Amino acid sequence: MIRAILLGSGYVGTYLAVGLERIKKGLVGKYGIPLAKYPLPYKIEDINIVSAYDIDSSKVGKTLFDAGAEIFGKEYDLPETLKDIPIKKGIHLKSAEGLPIKATGLEEGRSVKDAIDELVNEWAELKPDVIINVITTEEGRAYKSKEEAVSAILDGKAPATHAYAYAATQYAKQSGRKVTFVNAIPTPVANNPGLIELFNETGAIAFGDDGATGATPLTSDLLEHMAQRNRFVEFVVQFNIGGNTDFLALTQPKRNKMKENTKSSMVADILGYDAPHYIKPTGYLQPLGDKKYVAMHLEWISFNGFRDSLFISARINDSPALAGMLVDLIRLGKIAVDKGLSGTVYEVNAFFMKKPGPEGAKNIAKTHAYMQLLNWLGLSRYQ
Amino acid sequence: MIRAILLGSGYVGTYLAVGLERIKKGLVGKYGIPLAKYPLPYKIEDINIVSAYDIDSSKVGKTLFDAGAEIFGKEYDLPETLKDIPIKKGIHLKSAEGLPIKATGLEEGRSVKDAIDELVNEWAELKPDVIINVITTEEGRAYKSKEEAVSAILDGKAPATHAYAYAATQYAKQSGRKVTFVNAIPTPVANNPGLIELFNETGAIAFGDDGATGATPLTSDLLEHMAQRNRFVEFVVQFNIGGNTDFLALTQPKRNKMKENTKSSMVADILGYDAPHYIKPTGYLQPLGDKKYVAMHLEWISFNGFRDSLFISARINDSPALAGMLVDLIRLGKIAVDKGLSGTVYEVNAFFMKKPGPEGAKNIAKTHAYMQLLNWLGLSRYQ
Amino acid sequence: MIRAILLGSGYVGTYLAVGLERIKKGLVGKYGIPLAKYPLPYKIEDINIVSAYDIDSSKVGKTLFDAGAEIFGKEYDLPETLKDIPIKKGIHLKSAEGLPIKATGLEEGRSVKDAIDELVNEWAELKPDVIINVITTEEGRAYKSKEEAVSAILDGKAPATHAYAYAATQYAKQSGRKVTFVNAIPTPVANNPGLIELFNETGAIAFGDDGATGATPLTSDLLEHMAQRNRFVEFVVQFNIGGNTDFLALTQPKRNKMKENTKSSMVADILGYDAPHYIKPTGYLQPLGDKKYVAMHLEWISFNGFRDSLFISARINDSPALAGMLVDLIRLGKIAVDKGLSGTVYEVNAFFMKKPGPEGAKNIAKTHAYMQLLNWLGLSRYQ
Amino acid sequence: MIRAILLGSGYVGTYLAVGLERIKKGLVGKYGIPLAKYPLPYKIEDINIVSAYDIDSSKVGKTLFDAGAEIFGKEYDLPETLKDIPIKKGIHLKSAEGLPIKATGLEEGRSVKDAIDELVNEWAELKPDVIINVITTEEGRAYKSKEEAVSAILDGKAPATHAYAYAATQYAKQSGRKVTFVNAIPTPVANNPGLIELFNETGAIAFGDDGATGATPLTSDLLEHMAQRNRFVEFVVQFNIGGNTDFLALTQPKRNKMKENTKSSMVADILGYDAPHYIKPTGYLQPLGDKKYVAMHLEWISFNGFRDSLFISARINDSPALAGMLVDLIRLGKIAVDKGLSGTVYEVNAFFMKKPGPEGAKNIAKTHAYMQLLNWLGLSRYQ
């Protein structure tokens, strides 16, 4: 059994919980979970989400069943087991600033340290093996050292993600339990030397950053396809627009910058030259909902100087794609813990993350990262 | 130095010769040649095309300079060295039947055997290391044994491709020289047990079948992208339309069937299930010229049963893409010969061919085939 | 009140009946009905489908409620009123040949004339104002004269559509009632001089041919967009693939030819020159269902010789689009009858049909046809 | 003969001059000029560009031949007659602020009034019939009255476009010649009550605003296509990215806002409801050059509640499209002057402009605007 905690009960977190319970009840196939077909030490059904955390005051105190009913409507076949997963009050630290949410936070009326301590005490009872961060993208910077990190966090100058990551390490330290913190958003954790120092020191693990779903991994593999044929890519355009909270949040320039950073690092890493590119979340349009629209265009020079053109249009359900990956990341988090690792794990990050940590690590094509991951797990693609 | 012979002086053959000579003169970059960046034993500049063969009576007796001038026009900067590559009369055997070409063939007025003998004698003087087959797609079947193959060929019941392949083996046998026959069209050679027996016996090599350019390798890598995420692909549509002779030829159902065969084998091999698909050359429209239009659409089931959609539109210069690959296939043909191999070489075919021989071999994703090829060559992707 | 009869109870016919009854119950909006917003003499709710006809032996004897349940499933909110619309046995005449249907027909075991007489007698009791032909596309030719038409029909050498059209005229003649025959498939009726002579003579009306839904009217308006800017269209490609019975039927070359004929006439009519084009139903792929995939590509020359490119990808529900138009065609059929017209009505056909009759009529852009239709109805666009 | 002056010698202006001279020499067809096929009182060859104005110090003092050589390169067949068109110094007023241009302006070292006076004096000698404004998009507001306009302009608080428009009216007033000012950029002139009062008073004419090229008129006609079928459009996304100076300028929010304003007004005007939309210039990517990439997506509800999807990808040469329209706008400017009109002319604006003046005028579908324009000219579409 794997005990997991969700930070954030928005679309991604709710889809993850709903999908897991529906799989357990045999209501839906195991599609969208990359490693579902391979014999891992932990089955999908072994995952048990023990609690969620949120700062939306209209959610705190309810359960993931309520969150699911809000999204899917009353007609949907929601497993009753979701009623056993409470939504507790989390750390805010302005992570919802500017969004149409009435926010509340554990730190209200006390110090950040006290809020973190309370969290760590709760976790000591919940005994999570894996903690998944799927809160809304927030601005955040990398710290050079553990000291710089801790000081920013305790002074309330760090984003909620960093406070949560710190709490995870303190939970590991105090409880003596191993834990993996999965950072599925762009705010740097696995790419954050100061935080990774903390994880290393406490025997905890951080996976990250920014779950690789949607158009970016596709772009990664397309660029590899070009590179393998030695085509000269003249430019890459990739537009994204959606109607969920994450796209709304990304209309704020600082949050958008976080996202752009994690998306663009792959071009030079894969092609070997920094082809001119425009790759970023482009806008918000409510009726698109969680099913974003992606438009891509690239041109390249082929043999004897001929120019070819490619256009892609796609509609992709944003949150389920990430939720499916989290199913594996939870299992891999426990596997990594069982292996006695600490710090971060490039072999996992390289496939699952848009900006795989540690800082400075190469952003190789996802198709190669997949093979390396299988290798790390002692599995093979065509067996 | 590598001595190469071209069977067919259409778009692909002419682009190959023109591109090679322009590269030698520094007029154009080495784009579209997959292995251009790696240190192979033979440089691109080492390739020397010594002759072309054709059955179009308006071309026989001229040179590849004339063929190039016909395609590129008088204003184009065509290297004078192309005047040294003659277009000799080749074997017809109805390969141009139904096409708007006044055809002629070496076999006219004599037996097929005599025509092949003449060819073998010519080759004994031309001393080719590699023979490249880029004639128009023709119908042809696989033979169970060497005897069945030879009998069909000498009786004039085999397509020109098979007569050429047989001639290559006889050239190898009689001259004692090693040779690689590169079959870039769908008519089965590397997937033809009877012919491969002949190649094995004479110490010759056949690469094939059907050069993997255009939309098919892209589809291959896209399907792998889906498989790696365990998405359930509901269907795949891939339309192709162009305005060159090859597309015109493919409006004939028998030739089209050849092409459909080589294109469809990958779906089940990569996904592990035979997702419903419509993948074939769709039509001919003259103004598109050699730059074909490709339209693709696929849908898949993601986590928790959500459905995503992808649409691709592309314009791809058909012949240059194949010509670029032939530059490597020529070099790999010589390398394989140097290695003392005979028969066919899966590691080469798997990346470069739509239907990699030998018969029954798995059609893996191109991205993996690329890594296997590098491995076969003792090279690595991120070095 | 308008009394209507459906020939064919496949997707289009069933969607029409289901949609109408759901509109009457206020379950769904009036979208997809072109004239829904205008004040016509007849309301949508005035339409009463009194019977359907089919030759599928698994349907004959049932009701449109059963046909709806087959398509939409048991969970769907199907109005009970559909149980009042019987599916009677229709005329077959090989219209389902080659399709996976166990067919039966009124003409079995007797002459075609007797079968038609029975139909006319039934109609005399059902008293239809409008008869809608939505059977599967079948091959059929134009007749030069009434005599040629009648002789082909009574000899059993005409397709079912023509037998039905003849029956409509005989019903008009014998009952003295006015009737409009709406031919929504490509088999020529409104473009058939022999048949139109019959309609004229009996005071009946035929609208046709081939309901203008899907990509063809869009192409029409796109070509007009190009023509209005004097862009020189170099070529037009339009692929269509679907998974309904109609696409399956169109894999038969003779039926496909019918469709290609009605689709292509517009290019020269709108542009003023016959730009090279490939516009036809391209294939059948079952999982696409009734929601076809359309891919289009055109290029044009702009000012000072520059070349622009356009690519379109679409997924369009085929049958609902036609069903929505039929709602108006039924109302217009009654309006035309009230106006005392006979023969065919170009003003109606020009907007609603892919190949508007009478024979030789110009296939103008749909956007202009729409304005002419409004004008014919005494309405205006921006009122 | 029509005497024309160009304000701005960038891509659009240069393409216009180059295309016109090449048409006169018979080097290129008359494509992309909407009315080229109709018998207008003035032929295309009647247009004579007598001077250009610019504020780029690297251009001032040269000719349009130099500007053309800069864009097209030395190999291009540039007519010598372009050497007769000087590039004179124009009014700057910060119109190039923030752009990588070393700007200079007539107003340097003197009052705006003096600068305008000098311009008016020059024009008195050049005797233009039409003045075309194709400077880079700049911020600007509408004035309620003539007085407010003149005061803003003379105080140097108005953009260059307004100073030029004012100069045109003063030229008309002082010289007694009729003149049409064609405003092809978004900065409001025809939609500017204060300026239109000035034009009316001086017997001058203003066409505008923002030449309707690219994706916007296509979207207009697509929306009309939806409206004519009573489809309920759920949303419209339209991305635009290019690599010319105009796209670079539009990365500045204030300029972008100007563009967004002129693009969005059509949705509600055509559909009758303001469907949610994201329609704006999205970004700048240098290698795209003047050939912008447009990506569009819309979805709508069809009959019985079914949802359809449409995706468009296009590459469109931005400047030639506008240049072709300007050829007609110059001729229409002279025709309007000959008709004795003053102020602005909705019939012209409605087809040629993204935001047709006067202020408050309806933004009807371009296809209808085209028919109204023909009607205004006494011409018909299918003659």
At B30, is the pLDDT very low, low, confident or very high (cuts 50, 70, 90)?
very high
At B20, is the pLDDT very low, low, confident or very high (cuts 50, 70, 90)?
very high
The answer to whether C358 touches C200, Cβ cutoff 8 Å, is no
**Higher confidence at residue D257 or residue A213?**
A213
Positive or negative: CA dihedral A59, A62, A66, A68: positive
Mean pLDDT over the full length of chain D? 94
Question: How far is Cα D141 from Cα B155, in angstroms, rounded to an integer?
Answer: 85
Whether the predicted pLDDT of B262 surpasses 80: no
Positive or negative: CA dihedral A148, A150, A155, A160: positive
Of residues D241, D297, D311, nearest to A237 (C-beta): D241
In chain D, what residues touch A239 (CB-CB under 8 Å)? Answer: 239, 241, 282, 295
Residue of chain D nearest B309, judged by CA positions:
D309
**Any C CB within 8 A of B239 CB:** yes
CB atoms within 10 A of CB C58: 12
Question: How far is Cα C216 from Cα C212, in angstroms, rounded to an integer?
Answer: 7
Start-to-end Cα distance in chain A: 27
- Mean pLDDT of the region A82-107: 93
Residue of chain B nearest D309, judged by CA positions:
B309
Distance from CA of B271 to the nearest CA of C (A): 17
Nearby residues of C308 by Cβ (< 8 Å), 6 or more positions away: C231, C299, C300, C302, D291, D314, D315, D316, D317, D321
At residue A24's C-alpha, the angle toward residues A22 and A26, to 5°, is 70
Put simply, the answer to whether A33 touches B305 (Cβ < 8 Å) is no
- Mean pLDDT of the region B332-346: 97
In chain D, what residues touch C18 (CB-CB under 8 Å)? Answer: 304
Residue with tokens 């069209």: B185
Whether the predicted pLDDT of B252 surpasses 90: no
By mean pLDDT, which of A94-103, A358-367, B146-155 is the weakest? Answer: A94-103
Put simply, the answer to whether B313 touches D313 (Cβ < 8 Å) is yes
C: neighbours with 3+ CB pairs under 8 Å?
A, B, D
Put simply, the answer to whether D32 touches C371 (Cβ < 8 Å) is no
> Is B328 exposed, middle or buried, given 0-12, 13-18 or 19+ CB atoms closer than 10 A?
buried
Whether the predicted pLDDT of A125 surpasses 80: yes
What pLDDT is recorded for position D49? 98
Question: How far is Cα C54 from Cα C104, in angstroms, rounded to an integer?
Answer: 9
Query: Which residue of A236, A256, A280, A297 to mutate against D (max D Cβ within 10 Å)?
Result: A297
Percent of chain A with pLDDT strictly greater than 90: 87
Per DSSP, the residues of B296-333 read EEEEEE-GGG-EEEEEEEEEEEHHHHHHHHHHHHHHHH
By mean pLDDT, which of A210-214, A229-233, D58-62, D164-168 is the weakest? Answer: A210-214
Whether the predicted pLDDT of A160 surpasses 80: yes
Q: What b/e string do you get for C260-295 counting C-beta neighbours within 10 Å, with b at 16 or more?
A: bbbbbbbbebbbeeebebbbbbbbbbeebbbbbbbb
**Any A CB within 8 A of B31 CB:** yes
What pLDDT is recorded for position C264? 67
Per DSSP, the residues of D184-240 read -SSS-STT-HHHHHHHHHHT-EEE-SSB--THHHHHHHHHHHHHHTT-EEEEEEEEE
Mean pLDDT over the full length of chain B? 94
Residue of chain D nearest B75, judged by CA positions:
D75
What fold does the segment set C215-317 form as a domain? Dihydrodipicolinate Reductase; domain 2 (3.30.360)
Put simply, the answer to whether C231 touches D32 (Cβ < 8 Å) is yes
Interface of B with C in 309-348 (CB under 8 A): 309, 311, 313, 315
Percent of chain D with pLDDT strictly greater than 70: 99
D: neighbours with 3+ CB pairs under 8 Å?
A, B, C
What strand order describes the sheet that includes B87-89? Answer: B87-89, B47-54, B2-7, B130-133, B180-183, B205-207
Whether the predicted pLDDT of D98 surpasses 90: no
pTM strictly above 0.90? yes
Whether the predicted pLDDT of D48 surpasses 70: yes
- Mean pLDDT of the region A142-152: 97
The radius of gyration of chain D from alpha carbons, rounded to an integer in Å, stands at: 20
- Which ranges of D34-132 does DSSP label H, i.e. alpha helix? 64-72, 112-126
Q: Which CATH number fits domain C2-211+320-374: 2.60.40.10, 3.40.50.450, 3.40.50.720, 1.10.1040.50?
A: 3.40.50.720
B: neighbours with 3+ CB pairs under 8 Å?
A, C, D
Residue with tokens 């849908």: B299
Spacing of C-alpha A343 from chain mean position: 17
Distance from CA of C161 to the nearest CA of D (A): 25
What pLDDT is recorded for position C94? 86
**Any D CB within 8 A of C232 CB:** yes
**Any D CB within 8 A of A251 CB:** no
Distance from CA of C85 to the nearest CA of B (A): 35
Positive or negative: CA dihedral A85, A90, A95, A101: positive
* C8-47: pLDDT as tens digits: 999 999 999 999 999 999 999 999 999 999 999 999 999 9
What pLDDT is recorded for position D95? 85
> Is C176 exposed, middle or buried, given 0-12, 13-18 or 19+ CB atoms closer than 10 A?
exposed
- Mean pLDDT of the region C129-141: 95
**Any A CB within 8 A of B261 CB:** no
Question: How far is Cα A135 from Cα A54, in angstroms, rounded to an integer?
Answer: 8
Put simply, the answer to whether A32 touches B368 (Cβ < 8 Å) is no
3-state secondary structure chain A: CEEEEEECCCHHHHHHHHHHHHHHCCCCCCCCCCCCCCCCCCCHHHEEEEEEEECECCCCCCEHHHHHHHHHCCCCCCCHHHHHCEEEECCCCCCCCCCCCCECCCCCCCCHHHHHHHHHHHHHHHCCCEEEECCCCCCCCCCCCHHHHHHHHHCCCCCHHHHHHHHHHHHHHHHCCCCEEEECCCCCCCCCHHHHHHHHHCCCEEECCCECCCHHHHHHHHHHHHHHCCCEEEEEEEEEEECCHHHHHCCCHHHHHHHHHHHHCHHHHHHCCCCCEEEEEEEECHHHCCEEEEEEEEEEECHHHCEEEEEEEEEEEHHHHHHHHHHHHHHHHHHHHHCCCCECCHHHHHHHECCCCCCCCCCCCHHHHHHHHHHHCCCCCCC
Distance from CA of D294 to the nearest CA of A (A): 9
Of residues D284, D288, D297, nearest to A293 (C-beta): D297
The answer to whether B205 touches B349, Cβ cutoff 8 Å, is no
Cite the residue boundaries of each domain of chain A with CATH code 3.40.50.720. Answer: 2-211+320-374
* D261-307: pLDDT as tens digits: 766 678 999 999 999 999 988 899 999 999 999 999 999 999 999 99
Question: How far is Cα D108 from Cα B228, in angstroms, rounded to an integer?
Answer: 64
Whether the predicted pLDDT of C265 surpasses 80: no
In chain D, what residues touch A287 (CB-CB under 8 Å)? Answer: 234-235, 276
In chain D, what residues touch C365 (CB-CB under 8 Å)? Answer: 367
**Any A CB within 8 A of B194 CB:** no
What pLDDT is recorded for position D250? 83
DSSP state of C353: B
Put simply, the answer to whether D309 touches A286 (Cβ < 8 Å) is no
**Higher confidence at residue C257 or residue D221?**
D221
Mean pLDDT over the full length of chain C? 94
Question: How far is Cα B377 from Cα C39, in angstroms, rounded to an integer?
Answer: 76
Whether the predicted pLDDT of A327 surpasses 80: yes
By mean pLDDT, which of A76-90, A252-266, B323-337 is the weakest? Answer: A252-266
Distance from CA of A24 to the nearest CA of B (A): 12
In chain D, what residues touch C272 (CB-CB under 8 Å)? Answer: 37
In chain A, what residues touch B31 (CB-CB under 8 Å)? Answer: 230-232, 300-303, 305
Put simply, the answer to whether B278 touches C235 (Cβ < 8 Å) is no
- Mean pLDDT of the region C304-325: 97
Put simply, the answer to whether C320 touches D301 (Cβ < 8 Å) is no
> Which of D274, D289, D318 has its CA nearest to residue D185?
D318
What pLDDT is recorded for position D280? 85
Cite the residue boundaries of each domain of chain C with CATH code 3.30.360.10. Answer: 215-317
Residue with tokens 């986590």: B303
Say what the ipTM of the complex is: 0.95
Put simply, the answer to whether B28 touches A218 (Cβ < 8 Å) is no
Q: What is the crossing angle of helices C11-24 and C318-338, to 10°?
A: 70
- Mean pLDDT of the region D43-67: 97
D330: left (phi > 0), else alpha (psi -120 to 50), else beta?
Answer: alpha
Question: How far is Cα A184 from Cα A16, in angstroms, rounded to an integer?
Answer: 13
In chain C, what residues touch B286 (CB-CB under 8 Å)? Answer: 276
In chain C, what residues touch B285 (CB-CB under 8 Å)? Answer: 235, 237, 276-278
Query: Which residue of B273, B288, B298 to mutate against C (max C Cβ within 10 Å)?
Result: B288
What pLDDT is recorded for position C245? 86
Residue with tokens 């949705």: D267
Residue of chain A nearest D289, judged by CA positions:
A235
Question: How far is Cα A292 from Cα A215, in angstroms, rounded to an integer?
Answer: 10
**Overall residue count recorded for chain D in this entry:** 383
The answer to whether B225 touches A367, Cβ cutoff 8 Å, is yes
Of residues A300, A314, A321, nearest to B303 (C-beta): A321
* D332-346: pLDDT as tens digits: 999 999 999 999 999
**Any D CB within 8 A of A383 CB:** no
Put simply, the answer to whether B313 touches D309 (Cβ < 8 Å) is no
Nearby residues of C26 by Cβ (< 8 Å), 6 or more positions away: none
Nearby residues of B346 by Cβ (< 8 Å), 6 or more positions away: B356, B357, B358, B361
- Mean pLDDT of the region A77-102: 93
Distance from CA of A247 to the nearest CA of B (A): 18
In chain C, what residues touch B239 (CB-CB under 8 Å)? Answer: 239, 241, 282, 295
- Mean pLDDT of the region A319-329: 97
Put simply, the answer to whether C313 touches B315 (Cβ < 8 Å) is no
What pLDDT is recorded for position D215? 87
Query: Which residue of C23, C40, C221, C304 to mutate against D (max D Cβ within 10 Å)?
Result: C304
Structure tokens at A192: 């954050």
* B204-241: pLDDT as tens digits: 999 999 999 988 899 999 999 999 999 999 999 999 99
Interface of A with B in 95-124 (CB under 8 A): none
The answer to whether B207 touches B182, Cβ cutoff 8 Å, is yes
Query: Which residue of B239, B280, B299 to mutate against C (max C Cβ within 10 Å)?
Result: B239
> Which of D213, D218, D211 has its CA nearest to residue D313?
D218
